[in-house]
Each structure stands twice: as C-alpha cells, then as structure tokens.
C-alpha cells in the first residue's frame, strides 16, 4: 500500500524544510542476521558471540551503515576496540574486505535500543549476499569475553538495523537474533511473610532462591527444614522449591496468639539460610500490604512482557499490590488498551490487586516525572508528548506540563492519584502540584534515595505521603537489584495499611497517606507503627481543599491531618524487623528533632558510610572508590553494608587496610570494622571526594561527618556500634514542640543494622 503524500513543512518566513523521509524499504530486502551460540546463556556469565549479517537486495552502499543495538536496561560489558586482552573486546570484518569504521555509544540509537555498535562502510561497498561478521567478546587475543546482562530475559535481542542506501535512514531487520538469558544457581534463599497478621487468621508463606545477581533461580532441588517460634499451625517441617520452579507458596498458616513470630529456614547441615519475623495482633483494624507501584516492561523501556511483569509481582516478589508505569511517550494506543486488559485480568481482590496507570514523563523544566494511577480501566492517557509514537490521532489529549496534566485530570473528573517521582527526570514541585490528585512523593527507588524531594514538598506546604518503589527495568518489580548498570540501589517497597486487600482499600490508603516506604531488600518488610498523642481536631480532608469537617481525637495515626491548640505533642514509634534496628530519627518537617540509637554508641565495631548524589538529574552517581588504613588496633574482621552490585567489592589487601569500589546515588553504603582496641585506633580514609584521618575513640555516642562540597550532600559518616548484633525491635517516645504558623509534619526514619531504611508518612498538625 502506497502511503499518502505528505507536503513539505513550511518555515516561518516562507522557507521550506527538506522533504520528509520517503516510504521505507521493504523489510524483506534488508538482509538477515544470525548469532552463535544461540543460547541459552547464564545471566552474568562470560561469553563470546558471533553475529553474522548477510546483506539483502540492496547490499550496503559506500558510507552506508549497520547498527547492532541493545536495550537501555542491558548491563552487559560495554564494547571496545582498543584492548584485545580486556573485557568487551569486539572485532568486525567484511567478507569482501571492505573497510569498516566502528564505534560504540551508550546512546547511539532510538530508545529502548540505545546501547549501540555502529559499523560504517568507509571504503568499498557490500553486494547482496556479502557478510559482516561481528565477534562480541573476541577471546582470540586474551579477552575474557563479554559478560552477559545480569538479569533473566526469555528473548534477549541483538537488534540489527541497516542503512543500505546511505541515507542515514536505519530500518530494523524483520527477524532479529535472540538468545535466552537464564538464572544461575542459588546464592541465597528468602522467605516471604506478611509483616503483620491477625491471630487465628490464615496467611501464606513463600520461599524462593536467588542467584548472585538477584534472579529467582530454578535450580534449587535442596530440601530445607522450616521452623517457627512460637509454632505456626500448618507449617510443614520440610520444604523444597523443586528444580524447574522459582518459588514455593505455602498457604493456610495460622498464628495462635499475639506477639512476634520468627520463621527460620535451615539446610540439611542445620545452617540458617533465611530468617524472617512478623507481628501477630489480636484483632488489627488495619493490616500491612506490600506494593511496588512503579516499574516497566519490554513494551516500553523494561524487560519481559507485561503479563510476565504482573506474574512476577504476584509470585516471585511476594507483592500484594502492583501497577505498571511505562513512559507515556512510548505507550501506543494499542499497548494502552492491552495494558488495561492485563490489569483488569490480573486484579484479584483478597489475593493480588492491580492499578492501571502510566508515567507522565515530562521534561524536568516542564514539571518532571509524575506517576498517574486510575481506580478503574478504560481511562484516557494524557501524554507529556508523542516523542516515540508515530500515530498522532490523539495528539490533542497531550499535556505538555505537569500543571496542564493536573488541570486536565481535574476538568475531566478523573478518579486519579499521582506521585511525584525522581528517575531520569526528577519532579519539580515548583512547576505544579494538585492537593487532591498528588498524594505522595517517592523518596527511594532503584535510582537511589531522594529525601530532598520530600523536603521540597514540605517546604512548599504540600501535605503528602511517602512511597518507595523500584522503577525497575530488569523484569523484577518488587525485587529489583541494581545489577551492573548505572542504578546504585535496590528497589524500594511501599507498605499500605488497610482493612482489606481491594482496589477500594488501596485508593483509600493512598488518599489518606496511610502508608510508609522502605528501601526494600531481604529485610525491607519491617513493621512500622507511628502515632502522635495530642488533643486535636482530626480533619476529614486536607483543609487546603476547603469544606473540611473535624472530629475531636487524642491520638493521630500515620497520614492524618489535624488542627490543635497544643504547644507540644508526643511522637511514638515502634519497629519490629528481621534484623537489628540501628536507630530511629524523628523529624518535624525540615527540622531534625532527635536521633535515638538502639545502643550506647561506644562499641568495638566501627561503621563507615559513604552517601550522596552528584546532582538531581539522571547522571547522579558518586564514585567512592577508595582505601582505609587502620593504625593502633587490629582489624578482627570486616563486613560490607549495602554493597548490592557484586562488581562493587570490599577487599582486604593487607591486615590493616581495606579497599573498595563503590557508587552511591543518594543512598548510602559502606562497611563495618570489628577492632580489638577501638580506644587506640585511628582510621585514615582516602576517596576521590574526602581524605581524612579520624580517631575512633572520639566517636563514642556520636556521628562524625566528613562532608564534600556539592549541590546535594555528599559525605562520609563514621560511628560506633556494639560488636554483637543489635536487637530487631525498638520503641521510642519523644515530646515534640509544635511550631505556630506552619504545618508540623511529624515523621520517623528508621535505619536497620543491614542498611535498610524506612520512612513513615507524616502526621500533619496545624497549630492554632
């Protein structure tokens, strides 16, 4: 079918742009490509691939080119042509000896296939049937090869594009070479438990094994012993996942009495492989349900199909609630309809709840990223642009700025909820906010930690809740590890406090800010209870909306907004976790009220943490590669904190020296040192940003902060901990003075011994 003619575009002033690109060549004439070996290959393994392109009907003309592109999410070894002994060495040859010019770029093609090897014919040309052979990870001169991406993908694509006529118009081959990337053997085991259950009510436990990169492994045939203290009715003594399966779910468990329950998984030798704790309450009005509201599948810039996406959330991430958040400028009308059909089909009240939605992906100057969720399917998508969507038939529904988005949603009476998000683009809260629609800010994801986004909201008087999500691109929503890519953190989780698991309850919890966020990971599902005790008048809605009513109360829960005449309130925080609680920080808005430690701060363990981000935008990574030398004491042992990427290592090259490779993206990571004589020890730190010597004896009971210059805080923090593990429970109460004339946003930040953090949504007290 011949496409309709398109007239040349006119320039203001009478000039004329060049004629639009003509109709593309028939894909069948572009040639073919194949790859060897054809797989499957293990995630993160070292391989050498040979891709052979055979020229099609037109060959490739002098100055024509070939592109081999990989997805944005792919974290395989970058290709290089200069060192034949180094990783990622590639060679490219033409069968007819034509001269080829090659380069590799991180952004060399249209997303999502943007990691690109470009091959240009610079002397000669290719006839039909001639071949170009690309060896990725050429081992012939000593290179270890190419390390495969670290995450599983059923159809990893070697995406080949051709410009045969030298017009710089690249077209994709109709059939692309693919290999299956499969998980490795188990490196760790995890138990999935609710963080709190009602006594006598049935619940489920899930078991899975993960390989070293965090992929659920299907290679676990081991039989384990399960035990609970106190016992759980229905818990089997022995359990196995079984080879070929990636998880095992055991339903119908019952806890008899209130209290804390610890479940352990032990191997045949009696070694503990996994441990999880949960709270049992007699008759809780609200129960915790865990969510990841934000990640993407291969239909946009992620990995794996959208159907597989939700199945992973439900089965292998142990989630109760999930949504899909594709970049709006990549969501076609066809995929929007399919996505809505999938969320409707996967929604199962009482077992697993989905919300339809998308990521409004406007440039930061126009408001920055916002997550948009609907309470039902069939709602229109209002995009920030049609940047990657050829069909312009619904262009009129675009909203170029965040302010326009909120106006359009409000005008249409949409039953929508929005989050402010920081990903590649960050949300600029000064460019738009809607009191009713924008209910939360996201302070942590795989991109890092962004407490400054919460500070922006509080500074502007926004009464929002706190969420943490993954924004995962690797097909593992709810359990997203950073792999070897630019992501510096593990994906976060949001805990919703609800009476039941249903869409209606999810929406009510979000609108009332009845939720908290954590940085995720094996110990990320801690139980957090926050209350404020003060005589107050509880508002039934944000007073900024007008027309609110009040009810007298003496106790306020997470997310409440209330008016009070009191000059002081009592903030109460209780934590039950699966590892030691290190500290609780209390805040009143932008003011740090107190740090309360779960220890005396004078132990023989020294903790050194590096944290921060370079700036608010996409390339925020801070490199902390460095060394630490200890004098005056012996290092008995060392342990890493938040080293999620196996490539980022902590080594001990000599008895009194540590060396590490580490990046942060707003989050923190570091190490512990157990010292035989901390009172006499001195540590000398050398990193790209901070070089300093610190006397360990002076750290008793306090933090020492070594700050570097920057737009955002970048620092090294040192403090002392007891040698033995900390207790996994902590409860604090503290009187907080209430300021007049502004909101008092009372909230807590919890830090666990393993580096996990959690933030409660604030209680907003309006004094006077």
What CATH number is associated with residue 419?
Answer: 3.20.20.140
Give the domain-ending residue among 182, 212, 242. 182
Looking at the DSSP assignment, which residues form a beta bridge with residue 729?
A: 576
Q: Are 254 and 440 in contact (CB under 8 A)?
A: no
Distance separating alpha carbons of residues 506 and 524, to the nearest angstrom: 20
Question: Which pTM value belongs to this model?
Answer: 0.94
What pLDDT, on a 0 to 100 scale, did the predictor assign at position 595? 97
**Burial category of 8 from C-beta neighbours within 10 Å (exposed 0-12, middle 13-18, buried 19 and up):** exposed
Read off the tokens for 640.
Answer: 């890493």
What pLDDT, on a 0 to 100 scale, did the predictor assign at position 2? 39
DSSP sequence for 90-138: EEEEETT--EEEEEEETT-SSTTEEEEEEEEEEES-B-TT-EEEEEET-
Nearest to 577 by CA among 754, 748, 320: 754
Question: Is residue 453 a part of any domain in this protein?
Answer: yes
Distance separating alpha carbons of residues 489 and 183, to the nearest angstrom: 21
Q: Is the pLDDT of residue 21 over 80?
A: no
What pLDDT, on a 0 to 100 scale, did the predictor assign at position 393? 95
Distance separating alpha carbons of residues 257 and 755, to the nearest angstrom: 31
Residues 293, 400 within the same domain:
yes
Read off the tokens for 553.
Answer: 């109360």
Residue 307: φ, ψ to 5°? -65, -45
Taken as a whole, the chain contains a residue count of 768
What pLDDT, on a 0 to 100 scale, did the predictor assign at position 223? 97
Query: Quick one: how far is CA 118 from the chain centroid?
Result: 30
What letter would DSSP give residue 673?
Answer: E
**Going by DSSP bridges, is the β-strand pair 763-767/561-564 parallel, antiparallel, or unpaired?**
parallel
Read off the tokens for 670.
Answer: 């570091």
Handedness of CA 212, 759, 495, 442 (dihedral sign): negative
Q: Domain with 157 in it: what CATH number?
A: 2.60.40.740
Residues 174, 218 within the same domain:
no
Question: Is residue 133 a part of any domain in this protein?
Answer: yes
Question: Is residue 361 a part of any domain in this protein?
Answer: yes
- The 10s digit of each residue's pLDDT in 288-312 is 999 999 999 999 999 999 999 999 9
What pLDDT, on a 0 to 100 scale, did the predictor assign at position 688? 96
SS3 508: helix
Question: Is residue 701 a part of any domain in this protein?
Answer: yes
- The 10s digit of each residue's pLDDT in 186-218 is 999 999 999 999 999 999 999 999 999 999 999
Distance separating alpha carbons of residues 656 and 686, to the nearest angstrom: 14
Q: Is the pLDDT of residue 112 over 80?
A: yes
> Is-cis flag, bond preceding 112, omega within 30?
yes
What letter would DSSP give residue 155?
Answer: E
- Confidence bin at 484 (pLDDT 50/70/90): confident
Question: Is residue 73 a part of any domain in this protein?
Answer: yes
Handedness of CA 506, 508, 512, 514 (dihedral sign): negative
Read off the pLDDT of each residue in 695-717 and give the average, rounded to a whole number: 92
Residue 30: φ, ψ to 5°? -85, -15
Residues 262, 292 within the same domain:
no
CA angle 428, 432, 434 (to 5 degrees): 125
Residue 205: φ, ψ to 5°? -120, 140
Count of helix runs (H) and strand runs (E) in the chain? 5, 55
Read off the tokens for 86.
Answer: 């180094």
**Going by DSSP bridges, is the β-strand pair 622-623/657-660 parallel, antiparallel, or unpaired?**
unpaired
Read off the tokens for 653.
Answer: 């090259």
Nearest to 724 by CA among 636, 650, 659, 654: 636
Distance separating alpha carbons of residues 649 and 616, to the nearest angstrom: 26
Read off the tokens for 214.
Answer: 């965090």
Q: Which domain holds residue 500?
A: 288-521
CA angle 529, 533, 536 (to 5 degrees): 125
Distance separating alpha carbons of residues 7 and 39, to the nearest angstrom: 48
Distance separating alpha carbons of residues 432 and 363, to the nearest angstrom: 13
Nearest to 176 by CA among 42, 70, 64: 70
- Confidence bin at 4 (pLDDT 50/70/90): very low
Looking at the DSSP assignment, which residues form a beta bridge with residue 416?
A: 374
User: What's the number of domains the chain is made of?
Assistant: 5
Question: Is residue 17 a part of any domain in this protein?
Answer: no
Read off the pLDDT of each residue in 39-62 and give the average, rounded to a whole number: 97
Residues 108, 216 within the same domain:
no
Q: What is the mean pLDDT of the chain?
A: 94
Q: Are 524 and 493 in contact (CB under 8 A)?
A: yes
Question: Is residue 93 a part of any domain in this protein?
Answer: yes
Residue 153: φ, ψ to 5°? -155, 125
Distance separating alpha carbons of residues 697 and 693, to the nearest angstrom: 12
Distance separating alpha carbons of residues 447 and 626, to the nearest angstrom: 22
Give the domain-ending residue among 492, 521, 550. 521
Which string of b and e fits 542-578 if b means at least 16 CB within 10 Å?
Answer: bbeeeeeeeeebeebbbbbbbbbeeeebebbbbbbbb
When mean pLDDT is compared across 371-375, 530-534, 662-666, the lowest value belongs to 662-666
Residues 433, 512 within the same domain:
yes
- Confidence bin at 11 (pLDDT 50/70/90): very low
Give the domain-ending residue among 281, 310, 338. 281
**Going by DSSP bridges, is the β-strand pair 714-721/704-708 parallel, antiparallel, or unpaired?**
antiparallel
What pLDDT, on a 0 to 100 scale, did the predictor assign at position 22? 56
**Burial category of 284 from C-beta neighbours within 10 Å (exposed 0-12, middle 13-18, buried 19 and up):** middle
Distance separating alpha carbons of residues 119 and 122, to the nearest angstrom: 9
SS3 313: helix
Residues 590, 661 within the same domain:
no
Q: Are 485 and 464 in contact (CB under 8 A)?
A: no
DSSP sequence for 510-559: HHTT-EEEE--STT---EEEEEEEEEEEEESS-GGGS---EEEEEEEETT
E strands, 346-394, are: 353-355, 357-360, 370-374
What pLDDT, on a 0 to 100 scale, did the predictor assign at position 709? 87
Residues 327, 450 within the same domain:
yes
What pLDDT, on a 0 to 100 scale, did the predictor assign at position 23? 57
At a CB cut-off of 8 Å and minimum separation 6, what does 613 contact? 448, 450, 620, 621, 622, 664, 665, 666, 712, 714
At a CB cut-off of 8 Å and minimum separation 6, what does 396 contact? none
Q: Is the pLDDT of residue 17 over 60?
A: no
Neighbours of 689 (CB within 10 A): 18
Q: Are 464 and 472 in contact (CB under 8 A)?
A: no
SS3 197: strand
What pLDDT, on a 0 to 100 scale, did the predictor assign at position 3? 38
CA distance to 8, 438, 524, per residue, from 563 (Å): 62, 22, 33
At a CB cut-off of 8 Å and minimum separation 6, what does 14 contact? none
State in Å, rounded, how far the first CA of the chain is from the last one: 72
CA distance to 157, 630, 655, per residue, from 660 (Å): 34, 15, 15
SS3 271: coil
Residues 571, 711 within the same domain:
no
What pLDDT, on a 0 to 100 scale, did the predictor assign at position 618? 80
CA distance to 420, 458, 475, 762, per residue, from 465 (Å): 10, 11, 27, 7
Residues 408, 545 within the same domain:
no
What pLDDT, on a 0 to 100 scale, did the predictor assign at position 9? 35
Q: Is the pLDDT of residue 37 over 50?
A: yes
- The 10s digit of each residue's pLDDT in 595-635 is 999 999 999 999 999 999 988 888 888 999 999 999 999 99
Residues 607, 656 within the same domain:
yes
Residues 345, 478 within the same domain:
yes
Question: Is residue 3 a part of any domain in this protein?
Answer: no
Residues 39, 166 within the same domain:
yes
Instruction: Describe the crossing of helices 333-346 and 306-315 by its angle, rounded to 10 degrees.
Output: 30
At a CB cut-off of 8 Å and minimum separation 6, what does 19 contact? 8
- Confidence bin at 366 (pLDDT 50/70/90): very high
Q: Domain with 754 in it: what CATH number?
A: 2.60.40.10
């Amino acid at each position: 079918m011949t496409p309709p003619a398109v007239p040349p575009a006119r320039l203001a002033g009478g000039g004329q742009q060049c004629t639009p690109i003509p109709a593309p060549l028939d894909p069948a004439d572009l040639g073919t490509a194949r790859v060897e070996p054809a797989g499957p290959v293990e995630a993160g393994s070292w391989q050498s691939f040979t891709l052979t392109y055979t020229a099609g009907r037109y060959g490739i003309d002098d100055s024509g080119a070939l592109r081999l592109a990989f997805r944005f999410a792919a974290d395989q070894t970058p290709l290089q042509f200069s060192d034949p002994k180094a990783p990622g060495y590639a060679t490219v040859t033409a069968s007819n000896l034509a001269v080829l010019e090659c380069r590799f770029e991180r952004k060399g093609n249209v997303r999502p296939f943007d990691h690109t090897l470009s091959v240009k014919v610079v002397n000669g040309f290719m006839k039909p049937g001639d071949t170009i052979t690309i060896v990725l990870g050429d081992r012939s001169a000593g290179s270890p090869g190419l390390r495969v991406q670290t995450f599983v993908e059923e159809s990893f694509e070697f995406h080949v594009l051709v410009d045969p006529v030298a017009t710089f118009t690249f077209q994709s081959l109709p059939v692309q070479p693919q290999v299956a990337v499969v998980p490795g053997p188990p490196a760790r085991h995890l138990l999935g438990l609710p963080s709190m259950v009602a006594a006598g009510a049935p619940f489920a436990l899930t078991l899975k094994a993960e390989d070293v990169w965090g992929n659920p492994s299907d290679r676990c045939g081991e039989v384990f012993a399960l035990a609970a203290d106190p016992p759980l009715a229905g818990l089997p003594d022995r359990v196995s996942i079984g080879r070929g399966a990636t998880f095992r779910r055991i339903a119908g468990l019952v806890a008899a009495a209130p209290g804390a329950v610890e479940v352990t998984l032990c191997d045949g030798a009696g070694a503990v492989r996994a441990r999880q704790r949960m709270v049992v309450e007699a008759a809780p009005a609200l129960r915790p349900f865990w969510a990841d509201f934000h990640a993407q599948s291969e239909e946009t810039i992620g990995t794996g199909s959208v159907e597989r996406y939700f199945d992973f959330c439900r089965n292998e991430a142990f989630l109760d609630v999930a949504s899909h958040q594709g970049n709006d400028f990549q969501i076609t009308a066809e995929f929007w309809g399919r996505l809505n059909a999938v969320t409707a089909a996967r929604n199962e009240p009482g077992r697993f709840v989905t919300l339809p939605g998308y990521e409004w992906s406007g440039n930061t100057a126009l408001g920055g990223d916002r997550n948009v969720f609907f309470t039902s399917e069939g709602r229109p998508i209002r995009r920030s642009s049609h940047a990657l969507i050829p069909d312009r038939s619904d262009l009129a529904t675009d909203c170029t700025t965040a302010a326009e988005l909120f106006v359009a949603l409000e005008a249409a009476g949409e039953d929508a909820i929005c989050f402010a998000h920081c990903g590649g683009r960050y949300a600029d809260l000064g460019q738009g906010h809607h009191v009713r629609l924008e209910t939360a800010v996201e302070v942590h994801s795989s991109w890092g930690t962004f407490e400054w986004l919460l500070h922006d909201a509080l500074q502007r008087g926004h009464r929002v809740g706190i969420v943490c999500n993954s924004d995962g691109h690797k097909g593992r929503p709810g359990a997203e590890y950073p792999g070897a890519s630019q992501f510096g953190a593990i994906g976060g989780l949001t805990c919703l406090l609800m009476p039941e698991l249903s869409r209606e309850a999810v929406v009510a919890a979000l609108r009332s800010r009845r939720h908290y966020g954590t940085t995720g990971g094996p110990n990320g599902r801690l139980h957090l209870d926050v209350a404020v005790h003060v005589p107050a008048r509880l508002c039934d809605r944000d007073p900024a909306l007008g027309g609110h009513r009040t009810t007298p109360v003496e106790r306020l829960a997470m997310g409440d907004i209330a008016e009070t005449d009191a000059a002081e309130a009592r903030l109460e925080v209780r934590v039950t976790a699966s590892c030691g609680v290190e500290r609780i920080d209390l805040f009143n808005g932008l003011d740090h009220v107190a740090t309360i430690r779960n220890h005396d701060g004078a132990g023989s363990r020294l903790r050194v943490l590096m944290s921060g981000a370079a700036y608010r935008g996409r390339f925020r990574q801070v490199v902390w590669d460095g060394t630490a030398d200890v004098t005056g004491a012996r290092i008995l042992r060392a342990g890493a904190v938040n080293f999620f990427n196996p490539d980022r290592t902590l080594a001990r090259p000599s008895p009194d020296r540590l060396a590490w490779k580490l990046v942060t993206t707003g989050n923190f990571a570091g190490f512990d040192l157990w010292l035989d004589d901390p009172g006499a020890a001195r540590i000398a730190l050398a990193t790209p940003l901070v070089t300093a010597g610190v006397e360990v004896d002076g750290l008793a009971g306090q933090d020492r902060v070594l700050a570097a210059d920057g737009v955002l805080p970048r620092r090294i923090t040192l403090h002392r901990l007891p040698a033995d593990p900390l207790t996994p429970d902590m409860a604090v109460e503290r009187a907080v003075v209430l300021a007049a004339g502004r909101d008092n946003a009372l909230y807590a930040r919890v830090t666990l011994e393993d580096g996990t953090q959690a933030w409660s949504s604030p209680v907003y007290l309006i004094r006077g």
